[in-house]
Structure formats: structure tokens, C-alpha cells
């Protein structure tokens, strides 16, 4: 199929960016979206032009590295997949595809479609862990009985790959879904309850410091999340936060 | 206050609590107003009670005014902060693919309702304060029905009422259930409660619209 790509090009963080049009021909439906961009870059390199910078790593939907706002939606028009799992058969011959980076003040652009998502790392570092005695006396996790539904909910929350689609989809560029998933996966388990109060306070404080927007419960994040992280996690984080404030 | 400014979750909670308080107030307001459709005497009696009861006047009314101010000031602050959180906008943003228009445009419906509140305050609150405290008129428990009907005679005011309450319905359509989510209430009953909030968002504004239209057309037919 023949396509027209409109891609955001930006030399570096300080440079002014702009949309640049690239006509593409002979695109196969079986190509993944990233493979299609690989072909474009091959062409650009052969012509002596600068290839388009974009993030990618595992290319099987588990690392959370690939991003891209495709035709106004993070990871494109499909649901529960990352950009690397999106195939060109989802598009039609003659389509124009607008490709932009995930946009948020807290995700500054490094180059073209690559953004700096270290803000997520800093939120995680603020409390997204449990303090474990690693001196050799660690209790086997399986020795602690956990209700099946709680274990399932914690696992569901833990499937967040930190790709940033929630921020990209949110009209407020809020990081509440990401942060709440990380808070929830620990809050639901006995090992995580020990530091639950400090964790939620510290992670939310870091999230606010990074300059993400306020959640207004539009639900866009839940719909666009490639891992189906539920809004229930945000409600849980709100409860955890209010409970932490009451406890002082 | 510092924590409120700094914490996104506290801002959400205050927004939700003030919103839920206003939801309760609206239910009371529409119930009292609706009596004007079938019983002018009952409407007069209830209005007089609301206008002269010291608990309503000097405790509940200030709380209500504070609730309204807190809700709209915080709403505007949130809107400003949220626009700063995305300093460069998307060339193409398909918000409709993942969220309802009303949920993404609460500031529009909210500002229309706020503008309407300005008119509403001028029409009723300023009028009441002038009647009671500036002109120091004696109590008259029979005046409310006639005063209310008079307000709906002009077509322009009735049209403004209809538009404002349509927008209020849109605001409540998202805002009511959203405030429960903000308070951390999301469980197996959420679907049923959400259905109730949608019903509320339809019925209460529709009630206000019906009352305005009734008095406008009822007057014309007399």
C-alpha cells in the first residue's frame, strides 16, 4: 500500500520542531509499524538524509520502550498493544498517518520521536520497591499466604510496563495511572503494606514535582493502556493517600 | 493550604467533596422549586423558611457560597496547571477515541454554569439581601411565588436558564461519578452507582428546565 507519513522532526531538545511529510510506497500489511519506520529510515539513509529517531527495544510488547502518538492515539488505533505490536494491515492504501512523540512537559523531547521518560524512573525510585533483608535471612515470598483475588489484582497492576501511554493519552498529561499501578502492586500484598504509608506519600510527591497534570477521571489512560491497567488503581491510590494523611 | 496547593490528590479530593456538596444542594433546590409548579402556597412556605431560618441563612448559606467558590477557583487552577503539563500541543489528538467530550471539557460547562450563577445571584440573592437588609422590608411569606414567576416572563432569561441547565447536566454527567472515583470509591457497586449518577444528571437539570418553561408558558397562557 502507499501511504503519506507526517512525522514530527526535531533536531534536539532546544530546537524548534516541525511536521515533515514522507511518501511511502510498497508498504506490506504484515510489517509492524516499527518495521515500516525501519524501511523509511533505510530510504533516508540511502538518500543521505538524517533517519527518524524513535524508541524501540524488545519489539514484543513487554519492555515499554516504544511509544509514538499515531493519528492522535498513543500506540495507534488498536487496543491493548504497544506500537511494536501494531501492524500496517490496520491502515488503508492512501492513508495519511500523523506520527508524533508522546507529549508532556515532564517528558521532554530528546530528538524527533524520542522523549525522556526518566520522570517515571524517579517516581519509581521514590518508593516503588520494598525494603528486603538480603543478608541471607529473607523469608520465601511463597511462605506468606495471599488471597487469590488480591494476588491477581497485584499482578494486574504489576503488568504496567511504564511506557507512558497513559500520560500521552491524558488531556492533562497526568501520570496517575502509572503511579497508581506501582503503588497498588505493593499496597495489595502483605510485603508491601509495611512501607505503604511512606510509599504513597513519596511517590505522589515525586509525581507532582515532575510537573505532570492533575487527573480529571476522563478514563482515556485506561482505554489506551497497552496492558489494560484499570482506573481502580487510581481509586486505590487515592484511598491509600487519604489514609496516609489521616495517619499522619 | 500549602499541602492543598502542592498535592494533586488533595486538590482532587477537595474538588470532589465540594462537588458532592453542590450535588446534594441541587437536589434540595430542585425539589423546593418544583413545588412552585403545583402549589404556590407550599412554595411560598418553603421559600420563606429558607429565607429566614437562621441555620439556613447564617450556617448553610455561607458553607454553600464557600463550596461554590472553592469548586470554581480550584477548577480554574487545575485547568491552568493541566495546560502547563503539556506545553506543546499535539498536531493531532483523537480524544474522542478514548473519552467522552463532556469529561474532557468540564471547564467549558463549568464556566457557563459559573456565568449563569452570576445572573442567578443578581436575580435572587442580591434581591433578597436588598429586600431584607438594605430596604429593611417587613417579612412577607406570600411574595416568593409571584417574584419567581415574574423572573421567567422574559424569553431571554428563560432561554439562558435552559442553556445553563443543559450545560449543568453535562457537567454532572461526568462530575458526579468522577467525584466518587476521586474519593477512592471504585468497587463492585460502581456500575450501578454510575448509572444512578447519570440518571441524576438527567433528571435534576431537566427539572429546573421544566420549571422555567412551565412558568414562562403558563404566564403567556394567562
pLDDT, tens digit, for every residue of A106-139? 999 999 999 999 999 999 999 999 998 778 877 7
Residue B109 to residues B114, B169, B178, B201, B207, Cα–Cα distance (Å): 9, 9, 15, 13, 18
**Could you tell me if A245 lies within 8 Å of chain B, comparing CB atoms?**
yes
Are residue A64 and residue A153 in the same domain, yes or no? no
Q: Are B184 and A106 inside 8 Å of each other by CB?
A: no
Phi first, then psi, for residue A98 (nearest 5°) are -95, 125
Q: How many domains does one find in chain A?
A: 2
Are residue A66 and residue A153 in the same domain, yes or no? no
DSSP labels for A52-68?
PP---SSSSSSS-----
Are residue A136 and residue A239 in the same domain, yes or no? yes
Are residue A51 and residue A148 in the same domain, yes or no? no
Are residue A121 and residue A100 in the same domain, yes or no? no
Phi first, then psi, for residue A52 (nearest 5°) are -80, 125
Instruction: Compute how many other C-beta atoms are within 10 angstroms of the C-beta atom of residue B153.
Output: 12
Q: What are the residues whose beta carbons fall under 8 Å from the beta carbon of B117, sequence distance 6 or more?
A: B68
Residue of A nearest to B11 (CA): A214
Q: What are the residues whose beta carbons fall under 8 Å from the beta carbon of A56, sequence distance 6 or more?
A: A34, A65, A66, A83, A84
Stretch A91-107: mean pLDDT:
98
Is the distance from CB of A96 to CB of A90 less than 8 angstroms? Answer: no
Looking at CA atoms only, how far is residue B122 from chain A in angstroms? 31
Residue of B nearest to A239 (CA): B184
Are residue A239 and residue A133 in the same domain, yes or no? yes
Domain residues for A53? Answer: 3-111
Query: In whole numbers, what is the pLDDT of chain A averaged over residues?
Result: 96
Is the distance from CB of A19 to CB of A71 less than 8 angstroms? Answer: no
Which has the closest alpha carbon to A206: B62, B6, B197?
B6
Stretch A29-43: mean pLDDT:
98
End-to-end Cα separation, chain A, in angstroms: 61
Distance CA A87, CA B138 (A): 77
pLDDT in tens, B69-125: 999 999 999 999 999 999 999 999 999 999 999 999 999 999 999 999 999 999 988
Q: Read off the CATH number of the domain in which A18 is found.
A: 3.10.20.30
Q: Which of A76, A111, A146 is the last residue of a domain?
A: A111
End-to-end Cα separation, chain B, in angstroms: 55
Are residue A178 and residue A81 in the same domain, yes or no? no
Distance CA A16, CA A13 (A): 8
Q: Read off the CATH number of the domain in which A148 is found.
A: 1.10.1060.10
Are residue A150 and residue A86 in the same domain, yes or no? no
Looking at CA atoms only, how far is residue B184 from chain A in angstroms? 4
Q: What are the residues whose beta carbons fall under 8 Å from the beta carbon of A88, sequence distance 6 or more?
A: A1, A27, A28, A29, A30, A31, A32, A33, A36
Q: What angle do CA B127, B132, B134 make, to 5 degrees?
A: 80
Which of B8, B76, B83, B107 has the highest number of chain A CBs within 10 A, making it the mutation to test binding with A? B8
Q: Which residue has the cell 470509591?
A: B185
Distance CA B211, CA B213 (A): 6
**Could you tell me if A208 lies within 8 Å of chain B, comparing CB atoms?**
yes
Residue A73, judged by CB atoms within 10 A of its CB (0-12, 13-18, 19+), counts as buried
What percent of chain A shows pLDDT beyond 70? 100
Q: Which of A53, A76, A111 is the last residue of a domain?
A: A111
Confidence of residue B222 (pLDDT cuts 50, 70, 90): low
List CB contacts (< 8 A) between B9 and chain A.
204, 237-238, 241-242
Q: Which residue has the cell 502492586?
A: A185
Q: Which of A111, A141, A165 is the last residue of a domain?
A: A111
Are residue A142 and residue A62 in the same domain, yes or no? no
Tell whether the model's pLDDT for residue A94 goes beyond 80: yes
Residue of A nearest to B10 (CA): A242
Are residue A100 and residue A125 in the same domain, yes or no? no
Report the range of poorest mean pLDDT among A94-98, A195-199, A219-223, B218-222: B218-222
Looking at CA atoms only, how far is residue A215 from chain B in angstroms? 8
What ipTM, to 2 d.p.?
Answer: 0.93
Which of B7, B85, B106 has the highest number of chain A CBs within 10 A, making it the mutation to test binding with A? B85
- β-strands A96-100, A3-9: how paired? parallel
Are residue A76 and residue A159 in the same domain, yes or no? no
Distance CA B100, CA B174 (A): 9
Are residue A21 and residue A99 in the same domain, yes or no? yes
- β-strands A73-74, A109-111: how paired? unpaired
Is the distance from CB of B9 to CB of A174 less than 8 angstroms? Answer: no
**Which domains can be identified in chain B, with CATH numbers?**
2-82+102-220 (1.20.1300.10)
Distance CA A97, CA A94 (A): 10
Which pLDDT value is given to residue A20? 98
Confidence of residue B1 (pLDDT cuts 50, 70, 90): low
Looking at CA atoms only, how far is residue A71 from chain B in angstroms? 6
Amino acid at each position: 500500500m502507499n501511504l503519506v507519513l507526517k512525522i514530527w522532526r526535531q533536531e534536539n531538545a532546544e530546537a524548534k520542531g516541525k511536521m515533515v511529510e514522507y511518501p511511502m510506497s510498497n508498504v506490506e500489511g504484515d510489517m509492524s509499524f516499527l518495521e515500516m519506520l525501519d524501511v523509511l529510515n533505510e530510504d533516508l539513509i540511502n538518500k543521505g538524509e538524517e533517519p527518524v529517531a524513535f524508541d524501540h527495544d524488545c519489539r514484543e510488547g513487554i519492555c515499554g520502550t516504544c511509544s509514538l502518538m499515531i493519528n492522535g492515539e498513543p500506540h495507534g488505533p488498536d487496543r491493548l498493544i504497544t506500537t511494536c505490536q501494531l501492524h500496517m494491515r490496520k491502515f488503508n492504501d492512501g492513508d495519511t498517518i500523523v506520527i508524533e512523540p508522546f507529549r508532556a512537559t515532564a517528558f521532554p523531547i530528546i530528538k524527533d520521536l524520542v522523549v525522556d521518560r526518566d520522570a517515571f524512573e524517579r517516581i519509581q525510585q521514590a518508593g516503588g520497591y520494598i525494603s528486603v533483608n538480603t543478608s541471607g535471612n529473607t523469608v520465601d515470598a511463597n511462605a506468606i499466604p495471599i488471597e487469590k483475588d488480591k494476588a491477581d489484582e497485584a499482578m494486574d497492576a504489576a503488568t504496567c510496563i511504564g511506557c507512558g501511554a497513559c500520560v500521552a493519552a491524558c488531556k492533562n498529561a497526568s501520570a496517575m495511572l502509572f503511579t497508581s499501578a506501582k503503588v497498588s502492586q505493593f499496597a495489595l500484598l502483605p510485603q508491601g503494606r509495611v512501607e505503604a504509608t511512606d510509599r504513597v506519600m513519596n511517590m505522589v510527591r515525586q509525581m507532582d514535582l515532575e510537573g505532570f497534570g492533575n487527573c480529571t477521571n476522563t478514563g482515556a489512560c485506561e482505554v489506551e493502556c497497552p496492558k489494560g491497567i484499570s482506573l481502580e488503581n487510581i481509586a486505590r491510590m487515592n484511598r491509600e493517600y487519604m489514609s496516609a494523611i489521616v495517619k499522619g | 493550604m500549602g499541602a492543598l496547593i502542592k498535592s494533586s490528590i488533595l486538590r482532587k479530593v477537595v474538588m470532589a467533596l465540594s462537588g458532592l456538596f453542590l450535588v446534594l444542594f441541587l437536589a434540595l433546590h430542585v425539589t423546593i422549586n418544583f413545588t412552585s409548579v403545583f402549589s404556590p402556597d407550599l412554595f411560598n412556605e418553603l421559600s420563606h423558611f429558607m429565607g429566614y431560618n437562621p441555620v439556613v441563612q447564617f450556617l448553610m448559606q455561607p458553607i454553600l457560597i464557600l463550596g461554590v467558590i472553592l469548586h470554581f477557583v480550584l477548577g480554574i487552577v487545575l485547568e491552568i496547571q493541566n495546560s502547563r503539563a503539556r506545553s506543546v500541543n499535539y498536531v493531532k489528538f483523537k480524544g474522542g477515541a478514548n473519552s467522552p467530550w463532556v469529561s474532557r471539557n468540564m471547564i467549558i460547562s463549568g464556566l457557563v454554569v459559573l456565568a449563569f450563577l452570576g445572573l442567578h445571584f443578581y436575580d435572587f440573592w442580591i434581591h433578597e439581601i436588598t429586600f431584607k437588609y438594605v430596604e429593611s422590608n417587613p417579612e412577607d411569606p406570600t411574595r416568593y411565588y409571584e417574584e419567581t414567576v415574574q423572573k421567567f416572563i422574559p424569553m431571554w432569561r428563560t432561554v439562558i436558564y435552559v442553556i445553563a441547565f443543559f450545560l449543568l447536566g453535562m457537567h454532572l454527567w461526568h462530575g458526579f461519578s468522577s467525584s466518587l472515583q476521586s474519593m477512592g470509591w471504585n468497587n463492585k457497586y460502581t456500575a450501578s452507582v454510575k448509572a444512578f449518577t447519570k440518571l441524576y444528571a438527567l433528571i435534576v437539570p431537566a427539572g429546573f428546565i421544566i420549571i422555567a418553561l412551565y412558568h414562562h408558558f403558563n404566564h403567556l397562557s394567562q
